Amino acid sequence: MGQKKGNKPAKGKSKKAKNMRELNRKGVDKEGSDMDAFTTEPTIVAEERGERPASPVLQAPAPVPAPAPAPVPAPAPAPVLEPPAPMPRPPSPIDKIQEDMLEK
């Protein structure tokens, strides 16, 4: 009934594992496969950098003089704008009542 006996996997799992191994094996030889990134990348990176094998005596690279910072002109002060004058509002009935109360 598909039960495991000892360390043997059930037949269905065995077939699945075999197919996975076969697919993985085929992928290594294909051009542009994911495995190419792991096998060729370090060589390409080393070539791009122009690295050489490490010499027995390591020499410190000559210090590169830092360029003098260029003076930065100060920004011109922005003109101060006055807030716009408030617009007079039309008299409301409440204003009229308040004026009448003040007159009395």
In this structure, is residue 103 part of a structural domain?
no
Domain that holds residue 26: 11-51
Whole-structure pTM value: 0.17
Q: In this structure, which amino acid lies at residue 26?
A: K
Calculate the CA 32 to chain-centre distance. 26
Q: Considering the domain boundaries, does residue 18 fall inside one?
A: yes
Q: Residue 92 domain-assigned?
A: no
Segment 56-103, tens digit of pLDDT: 555 666 677 777 777 777 777 777 788 788 888 787 888 888 888 888
44 domain-assigned: yes
Residue 102 lies in a domain: no
24 found inside a domain: yes
56 within some domain: no
**CA distances from residue 89 to 73, 92, 98 in whole angstroms, order as listed:** 47, 9, 16
Per the structure, the count of domains in the chain is: 1
Residues 6 or more apart whose Cβ sits within 8 Å of residue 34: 27
In a domain, 22, yes or no: yes
The pLDDT tens digits for 10-58 are: 655 678 888 877 877 765 555 555 555 565 555 555 555 555 555 555 5
